[in-house]
Amino acid sequence: MGIDPRQIVAGVLTLTMFLMLANMIKRDHFDAPISHHHVNHVAQPFDDSDQTLSNTAGDAPWKEETLGLKPCWSNPPSEDIDESKGFVTFSLTNGPEYHVSQIADAVVVARYLKASLVIPDIRGTHPGDWRNFGDIYDIEKFVNSLDGVVKVVKTQPSELSSKNLAVIRVPNRVTQDYIAENIEPVFQTKGNVRLATYFPSVNMKKIKTEQDDNRNSIGCLAMYGVLELQPDVQEVVDSMVDRLKTLSRKSDGQFVAVDLRLDMLDKKGCQGDDAGSKKCYSPQEIALFLRKLGFDKDTAIYLTQSRWDSSLDALKDLFPKSYTKEGIMPMDKKSKFLESEYEKVIDFYISSQSDVFVPAISGLFYANVAGKRIASGKTQILVPANIPPASSASVANYVSHYVSKKNHMAYSCFC
């Protein structure tokens, strides 16, 4: 008895739909809240027999920028900040993706306690790696943005010492209830507190809350309205973005930024989990993903990897215009800015300004870059996947759920 051709077609269609559904589920895992220590995954090998390196759905990979959103929070009511009593101190740690969250929590706490906020220092990942806030960020912008919200003190008062300064661990996106129960009693006893923000999970999704609008306004302002780079650092970022646009002349000056750091790929968080979810992608996987979406060989790609490594050659084979920061940074800036803390800042702000952003690694960098991009209208954020052979590769299928579902907290702050 012969096989009905219609059964064969139906079987192929069913398999294709199943593979597409599997990829959508994996993207949900990529965007899902994850533990602070669970950030990456070792890449799985590609099927070398798959030679379909084109956008079979026919839509262009580049997308016109939408107009930037406007802040939809109301300015928090001014308070008599000169009457502030006591101080809140803290340090910025781990890189700019953490800085924005640490600042937001500190401002919310200081406002609730009616305390003065001491401008933080910046601590690097290595012992003794310390710098002033003004080495990276614009102090005057920070102070002026918080005028009437909290009193900001530029230097730590001499009367503060370890004897009258209680250190309190604060969960990211701290709530008023947590402040009232865990921070305010200590503050009333000691008169001053030092905050250390920790991240129970990496979660920048909107949260339904019964907190009052005043608290949300303060959180939005602190998260998106107070940090700007100081002029020297901004100049380096601008020059590198201009260089990438020049290298992208055949793409109308558009370029892709990929957060791909090789040191992260071997870490435990990159090993996936029992559900087979994928948190990171290798250079080869990113290369084939971009080609399948229709990006051609003339596309300029910026990588957050610090220095070129031979494992990146698989990406450069398909995209010859792939660069790490050392390849496009002005020569006279390298001695100062090719250094750990500055490199992280440069990566964060270039990834926020690129025409397309691809997070090869799931985590807070991806989440907070997404927030800045949503606010500025740069919503072309593509979450990678291993696209099955012979399946369609529409760009729309790989847009971050932060954007497609509008579930990032930035959508609570901008409209």
**b/e string for 274-310 if b means 16 or more Cβ within 10 A?**
eeebbbbbbbbbbbbbbbbbbbeeebbbbbbbbeeee
Among 119-128, 247-256, 264-273, 283-292, the least confident range: 264-273
**Mean pLDDT, range 324-328, rounded to an integer:** 94
Residue 202: pLDDT band with limits 50, 70, 90: confident
R_g over Cα of the chain: 23
Confidence of residue 339 (pLDDT cuts 50, 70, 90): confident
Q: What is the pLDDT of residue 33?
A: 55
Can you give the pLDDT at residue 59?
54
Confidence (pLDDT) at 241:
97
pLDDT score of 382: 96
State phi, psi for 34 to the nearest 5 degrees: -130, 160
Q: What gap in Å lies between CA 398 and CA 290, rounded to an integer?
A: 11
Which residues lie below 8 Å from residue 149, measured CB to CB, with a gap of 6+? 76, 78, 79, 81, 107, 111, 218, 221
Q: Is the confidence at residue 67, as pLDDT, over 80?
A: no
Percent of residues, the chain, with pLDDT higher than 70: 77
- Kindly state the helix (H) or strand (E) to which residue 266 belongs, with its residue range: none
What is the pLDDT averaged over residues 302-310? 92
Q: Is the pLDDT of residue 263 over 70?
A: yes
Closest CA to 201 of 376, 388, 367: 367
Detail the DSSP E strand segments found in 175-318: 192-198, 255-259, 300-303
**pLDDT at position 407 over 50:** yes
Q: How do strand 166-171 and strand 121-123 relate by DSSP bridges?
A: unpaired
Token pair of 259 as six digits? 């957060």
Q: Which residues contact 92 (CB under 8 A, 6 or more apart)?
A: 98, 99, 102, 103, 120, 121, 122, 123, 133
Is the pLDDT score of 233 beyond 80?
Answer: yes
pLDDT at 302 exceeding the cut of 50: yes
The alpha carbon of residue 27 and the mean position of all alpha carbons in its chain are separated, in whole angstroms, by: 16
Positions of E strands within 238-304: 255-259, 300-303
157 token code pair: 């008062």
pLDDT of residue 242: 96
What pLDDT does 54 receive? 46
- pLDDT mean across residues, the chain: 82
pLDDT of 73:
80
pTM of the model: 0.84
The reported pLDDT for the residue numbered 7 is: 55
Instruction: Please tell me the predicted confidence (pLDDT) of residue 55.
Output: 52
For the segment 154-187, what is each residue's pLDDT rounded down to a tens digit? Answer: 988 888 876 678 899 999 999 999 999 999 999 9
Residue 126: φ, ψ to 5°: -110, 150
User: What pLDDT shows up at residue 278?
Assistant: 78
* pLDDT of 43: 34
Q: pLDDT confidence of 264, banded at 50, 70, 90?
A: confident
C-alpha distance from residue 91 to each of 133, 245, 394 (Å): 9, 35, 43
What average pLDDT does this structure show over 43-68? Answer: 50
Model pLDDT, residue 3: 54
- Among 26-40, 192-206, 349-363, the least confident range: 26-40
Predicted pLDDT of residue 273: 56
What is the average per-residue pLDDT within 352-369?
94
For residue 97, pLDDT over 90 is answered with yes
Q: How confident is the model at residue 213 (pLDDT cuts 50, 70, 90)?
A: low
Instruction: Indicate if the pLDDT at residue 226 is higher than 80.
Output: yes
DSSP annotation of 115: -
The predicted model gives 298-304 an average pLDDT of: 96
pLDDT number for residue 85:
82
Within 8 A by CB and 6+ apart from 391, the residues are 16, 19, 20, 56
